Structure 1
Amino acid sequence: MGDLDWNNVNEIRTPDNAIGSTDTSFGEGAKENTAVPSVVDGGIPPNKSDLRFFGVHQEGTTLDGSLHLYWTRVQEPSGTTTMDFELNQSRTKSSNGVTPMRTPGDLLVTYDLDKGGTRPTIKLRRWTTDGVWGAAEDLSATGDATGSINSSPVSAAEGGPLGPLSTRTFGEASVRLDAILGSDGTCTRLGSAYLKSRASDSFTSALKDFIPPTNVSISNCGSVRILKTDDRDMELAGAEFTLYQNLAPLAPPLGGEDIVTELTCTTDASGVCTIPNVPAGDYIVHETVVPAGHNRAPDQAVTVTADETEELTFVDPRQRGAILVHKVRKHAGDGPGDHNFAGVSFTVGGVTKQTDASGNACFDNLEFGSHTVHETTPAGYRGEADKSVLVNNEASCTPDPADFRGERVEFKNIPLSNITVSFESQVQDGTASVISCTGPNGATVNPNPADTTPAVYDDTSETIEDLVPGTYTCTVVVDP
C-alpha cells in the first residue's frame, strides 16, 4: 500500500512540545471518549511511550491513494505499544485550548502492537452524534491498512530528520483513503491531526502523552470554480450551473433525475461562482439558467480531484436579432393605396442595403438594444425621419418574410409635385399681377421665399415645389 519512503517525501512532521520532565500529557483519567481531555504538566512514566515526532503524508487521491502515518518515541517501553492518531474536521480549539473540537465523522486510527510483535493491528473509529467513538472497524483484517515497527536500530543517516532510532521506537501505518473517507459521495474534509498514547491495549485505558495537533488538509472532495463571460469577454452575472455525474451516454438533460446532484452555483457580478465540497470523480457541468439575451454554452466535462480546485470558463454567445424594413409609396400609376417600393437604400449599424421587389430590406446579426434605421430618400419623394427600433428577440433574416421572427418597421414615401402659375400682359407694361397660393391646411405657401414684397405687382410666373398631395388654391390679382 504505497511505495514511498519517508526520506523521499515532505511529510507534515510535528515534534512534541517537550521531552521528559517538562512534557505535557493528558491527565485526570482522560480517556478516548473524553471529548475535552485535561492537559497537565509533568513527565511521562518511564514504562510508557514518551513521544518525539508525529508524521502525516497523503499519497495519491481518495480514488487510489493512501494516508501514511508515523510516530517516534524516546525509548522502547515495556508492554504493548498503543498509539492513536486522531483526525478532526475542525481546527477550532476546544475549551482546553489544545485539542480540536470534535465533530461527528471525526476519525480515530488506532495502532496496537503486542510486546515483541512486528505487525500492529490498525483499526478505525468514527466520532458519533452521541459524543463517543463508534465501534472499531478492523482495517488490518480487511486489507485496508498495514503497519510495522522498526525491529532493529536505525542509523542517523537512515533516520534522516528523525535522527538515529533505537529498536521499536518508530512505527508507521498506511491506510487506504477510501476506507477512512468513504466512497459513497459523502464529502469529508479533515483539517487537524495529532498523536497520543494509551496506557494499555484496552480502548478504555487512560490517555498519556500526546503531540499537539497540527493543521492538515485531507479530503475526498474538491471544488469547481466557474468563470462566465459572453463573446465580448464581458463577465455575466446570474448564470446557474449544476454538476451531473458523468455517466455517458446519459448526459444532461437526457440523463434523468437519477444522475442529478444538488451541487449548484450562480455567478456573481464578476461572473464567478464556485461549487465547493464536490466528491472526487467525473462530472458534466451544465448551465441550467442562462442570462437573458444569451445562448447557453456547451456542457463541459471535468474531473474533480480531492483537495483541488478545477477552473472552467463558459462563454455564452450573445443572442442576435434582426430588423425587416418594409418600404411603400403612393404612386398614381399603381392605383390606389400603398405599394411596395424597390431600390430604396436603408442603413442600420453602418450597413446599407436596398429594398427588393417586395419593398423589403433585412438586417440581422444585430445585438439586443436600440438601433437606428436611416432612409436615403429617393429624389421626388418625401421620406420619413430616422426610426429607433428595439431589438430584443432572437431572429435572423429568412427567405420568406412570413417566417421572419424579428422586429419590423415600415417607411412610407410620398411623391412630391410642383405647381407653376404664369401671368402675361397682352400689352407691354399694360398690366401687372400678384400671385399667391395656400396649401391643404389653409396656410400660405410662399412660392418665392426671396420675394420680400409679395404685394408688389411684379409677378409674371411662380413655381411652388415639393408639394405633397392635397388641394392648393392659387390667387392671381391683376393690376387694372
Structure 2
Amino acid sequence: MRIVAAAAAGALVITGLAVTPAQAAHPEVSLTGSDFEIEDPASPGGANLKVDDATPPSLDWMNVSQEQTTDIVNPKNDNSFGQGAKEDTEVPTVVTGGIPPNKSDLKNFGLYLETNLSGHQFLNLYWHRVQDPTGTTNMDFEFNQSETPSANGVTPVRSHGDMLIQYDLANGGTRPELSVSRWLTSFGPAPLNACEAGSLPCWSTKVNLSALGLATGSINTTAIPSGDSDGLGAISARTFGEATVDFTALASTLDECKTFGSAYLKSRSSDSFTAALKDFIAPIGTGFPTCGNVTIRKVTDPAGSTVDFEYTKDFTSDPPDSTFTLSDGESQSFSEVPIDTEGHVTESTLPAGWDLDHVDCEASTDGANVTIDGAEITFNLDSADDTVDCTYYNKARGKIIVKKITDDGMGSFDFTSDTLDPAAFTLTTTAPDEAGEASRDFEDLLPGTYDVAETVPAGWNLQSSECDDQSPVTAIDVSAGETVTCTFVNSREVGAIKIVKTRKHAATGSGDYPHQGVTFTVTGGELPPEGVQAMTGADGTVCVPGLLVSAFAGNYTVTESVPAGYHLVGPNGRTATVVESEGDCDPITPEATVSFQNMPLTNLTVSVDSQVDGGTKSTIDCVPGLPEPDQATGPNGDGSLTLNDLEPQVVTCTIVIDP
C-alpha cells in the first residue's frame, strides 16, 4: 500500500480536534469521528487488539485489514542501527546481531488507514516489542516518499517532505505523546525553517500532535492472551502500543501532497531526539492516499472541434499549472489534490462563437462534494478515495447566410424575419446571376429554428427560395456550428402583346374579317434593334410572348408590314404597354392589345372611244379624281382616266361628249 499525505516546504500550521473519549462499554480515548478503539490506558488492561464496544461500527486490529510486518526473530540475524546512528543520520549504518532483549528490541508493527462515513481519515499505528521496558519508550514511524533503498541497502532514500511520527512514552507512563517532523533539505516558512537538532539536511522542529488534539494513543498495562492478539502471540504488559493520528487534519493544513511509498518502525535509546537509534523493522509498502484526483473533460457540439477552451484552477496538484486548455475529446487529470480543501475550476472566456451548454459531474464520487455554478465547479474532497470527474459540454453557434440572386436584371429586395436581428433588411443585386448576387450573414446564432421571408416587389417573380440543408425558409434548422445558406432567386416579370388584324372583304359579306398571314414587327424594351416579327394566324391574331414588362422596359412599338392591295386604316407603329401575364395572350390587358384594320383597294378606269376617228371629243371628270384640268380626249376622240388604290367609296364621274 502507499501513503499519500499533504506535505510542504511551507507552513505547517495545524488546528487540532479535541480528543474526546468515545462512549463505549470499554473506556476509550479515541479521536472524535474515528471508529477505531484506542482504549483508555487508565482502564483495566489498557490497549488491546480486540473490539470491546458492542455497538457498531467499532474497529480494532482484529477486525481490520492492516499492513503489518514482523522483525527478524533470531537475535543473531536481527538487524539494527549501529555506530551511533541518529534520527538525522541520512543513511544510518545497519548492523546484524547484538540486539539485547530489552525495551529497544522490536517484534512487529502495523498500519491501518480508516475512512469514516464522511470521508475523514485517521492513520492508526501500532508497535510490538520484546519485553517490558525499565525506562522511557521512544518509537518513531518514518514515512518515505521514495522506495529506492539508500546506500545501506535497507532504509529508503530520504526526500524533502518525508514524515516522521514520534511516539514518546515517559518512564512508567501509559499515555504517549505523539509528534510529527518533516525531512528538510532546505528551509521554508515556520515551523519548517528550523531543525529539531543539527543542520540541513535534518528533521524539522517537531509539532506536538497530542497537544493539538490530532493524535491519541495508549499501551497495554496487562498481558494480552494469544487468542486476543490478532496472531501476534501472547503479549506481555507494556510491550504493545497503539496510536491514532487525524490524517485528514494533518494533510489538509499542508501546501501540497506527498506520496509515501514505504514506512518503517525504529526505536531510540532515550527520549532525547539525538539519542542513538537501536532496533528497526524493515520498511513495508504503504497505501494510504490522502490526496484525491480531479479530471476535467471536454465535449463539443459539433464533435471534432480543434478550438481550445481555457480553464483556470486554484488548487495545488500534479501538474501544478493554474491554467490549461482542452479541445474536443481531450481531458486533463490532476493528482495529489489536497482533501478537505475547497478547490475551483472555471472555464474562462469562451472562444468566439461558442457557448457553454452544461457541466456534468455525475461521474464524481459523492465525497467530492461538487457544486456547479455556471462555468465554475467547486469541490471539497472528503478523502483520497474521492474523485472529481466533470465534463464541460460546449456548443458552437451557427450561422445563416441569406443570398439574393436575380436571373436577369438587378434590383433591391426587402426581407423580414421574426427570429433574426435585424428583423428587416434589404439586399440589392448589381448584375444578373451569381456575378451580381447580394447576401447578408447572421452569425453567433444559438442552435435553433429561424425564419426569413422576402417581400416580392412589383414586376418580379420569386423563382425559388431554398436552404442548402433542405430546411424550409420558414423554419431554418440551425445545428451547433452549422452554416446554412438560404438562396432567393428572382426574375423580372414578362408579358405578351396581342396583335389583332382585320380586313374588309366584300365577297365574304359586310363587316370586318380576320386577316391571316400579315407580318408585324415588335421593337423596344431589351429586344434587339431589329425587333422580333410575328405573323397573324387564321383567326387574324398573333401573340408575342416573353416580353419584359414595361415597368422595366418601357412601351413597345408594333409596326405592320401592310400587304399589297390593302391600305392600313389609321397610323402604323402602334404603342403597346406590357404587364404581367402567364406568357400567352389569354387573358390579356387592353394596354397590351393592338388592333390593325386593313382596307382592300380598287383600280378604276373610265374610257371613251369615238367611233368616227376625230368625230367627237370628250372630257372625263371623276370625284374624287384627278386635279383640274379634267382628262380630255385627243384629236381622234379617244381617251381614258385611271384612278388606282381606291379605298371603298362612292366615285362620281362626269363625261361630256361634244360633236
TM-score by length of 2: 0.51
Q: Map 1:389-404 onto structure 2 (within 5 A).
A: none
Pairing partner for 2:129 from 65, 69, 73: 73
Number of the residue aligned with 1:381 = 461
Contact map agreement 2:465 2:489 (CA 8 A) in 1: no
Contact map agreement 2:462 2:488 (CA 8 A) in 1: no
Q: 1:18 to 1:376 in 2, by over 3 A?
A: farther
What is the CA–CA distance in structure 2 between the aligned matches of 1:264 and 1:342, rounded to whole Å?
Answer: 45
Q: CA deviation at 1:70?
A: 0.7
Match of 1:20, SS? coil
Does 2:388 match 1:310? yes
Contact map agreement 2:397 2:443 (CA 8 A) in 1: no
What is the CA–CA distance in structure 1 between the aligned matches of 2:236 and 2:147, rounded to whole Å?
Answer: 33
Number of the residue aligned with 2:335 = 276
Which residue identity is paired with 1:211?
A: I
Query: Residues 104-162 of structure 1: CA distance to partner in whole angstroms, max 9, x if unpaired?
Result: 22221122234543223322222122211122333334443332222222122211133
Match of 1:21, SS? coil
Q: 1:167 to 1:187 in 2, by over 3 A?
A: same
Match of 2:216, SS? strand
Query: Residues 322-365 of structure 1: CA distance to partner in whole angstroms, max 9, x if unpaired?
Result: 6678999999xxxx97464799xxxxxxx9xxx99999x99999
Q: Map 1:218-233 onto structure 2 (within 5 A).
A: 218=288, 220-230=290-300
Query: Residues 407-436 of structure 1: CA distance to partner in whole angstroms, max 9, x if unpaired?
Result: 998857343213447697979999676989
Query: Residues 210-230 of structure 1: CA distance to partner in whole angstroms, max 9, x if unpaired?
Result: 222233344553232223334
What is the CA–CA distance in structure 2 between the aligned matches of 1:98 and 1:289, rounded to whole Å?
Answer: 53
Does 2:181 match 1:125? yes
Number of the residue aligned with 1:288 = 348
Which residue identity is paired with 2:292?
A: G
What is the CA–CA distance in structure 2 between the aligned matches of 1:241 and 1:105, rounded to whole Å?
Answer: 30
Contact map agreement 2:298 2:328 (CA 8 A) in 1: no
Does 2:492 match 1:415? yes
Q: 1:102 to 1:147 in 2, by over 3 A?
A: same
Match of 2:271, SS? coil
TM-score by length of 1: 0.68
Contact map agreement 1:321 1:364 (CA 8 A) in 2: yes
Contact map agreement 1:237 1:270 (CA 8 A) in 2: no
Contact map agreement 2:301 2:396 (CA 8 A) in 1: yes
RMSD: 5.4
Number of the residue aligned with 2:602 = none
Does 2:209 match 1:153? no
Q: 1:221 to 1:444 in 2, by over 3 A?
A: farther
Contact map agreement 1:446 1:464 (CA 8 A) in 2: no
What is the CA–CA distance in structure 1 between the aligned matches of 2:530 and 2:334, rounded to whole Å?
Answer: 76
Gaps of 5+ in 2: 1-30, 37-59, 187-199, 359-373, 428-439, 470-475, 477-482, 506-513, 565-659
Q: Map 1:59-208 onto structure 2 (within 5 A).
A: 59-60=114-115, 65-76=121-132, 79-128=135-184, 129=186, 130-177=200-247, 180-181=250-251, 183=253, 185-208=255-278
Pair member with larger Rg: 2
Q: CA deviation at 1:57?
A: 1.9
What is the CA–CA distance in structure 2 between the aligned matches of 1:48 and 1:192, rounded to whole Å?
Answer: 25
Q: Map 1:36-75 onto structure 2 (within 5 A).
A: 36-42=91-97, 44-47=99-102, 49-60=104-115, 65-75=121-131
Q: 1:466 to 1:18 in 2, by over 3 A?
A: farther
Which residue identity is paired with 1:214?
A: I
Contact map agreement 1:236 1:291 (CA 8 A) in 2: no
Contact map agreement 1:121 1:138 (CA 8 A) in 2: yes
- Identity among equivalent pairs (%): 36
What is the CA–CA distance in structure 2 between the aligned matches of 1:73 and 1:168, rounded to whole Å?
Answer: 9
Q: 1:330 to 1:211 in 2, by over 3 A?
A: same
Contact map agreement 1:328 1:413 (CA 8 A) in 2: yes
Contact map agreement 2:226 2:234 (CA 8 A) in 1: yes
What is the CA–CA distance in structure 2 between the aligned matches of 1:438 and 1:98, rounded to whole Å?
Answer: 111
Q: CA deviation at 1:13?
A: 1.8
Match of 1:168, SS? coil
Q: 1:81 to 1:340 in 2, by over 3 A?
A: closer
Q: 1:16 to 1:289 in 2, by over 3 A?
A: farther
Query: Residues 428-456 of structure 1: CA distance to partner in whole angstroms, max 9, x if unpaired?
Result: 999676989998485999999xxxxx9xx
Q: CA deviation at 1:268?
A: 5.1
Contact map agreement 2:293 2:334 (CA 8 A) in 1: yes
How many residues of Structure 1 are paired with residues of Structure 2 in the alignment?
426
Q: CA deviation at 1:86?
A: 0.6
Pairing partner for 1:319 from 397, 416, 420: 397
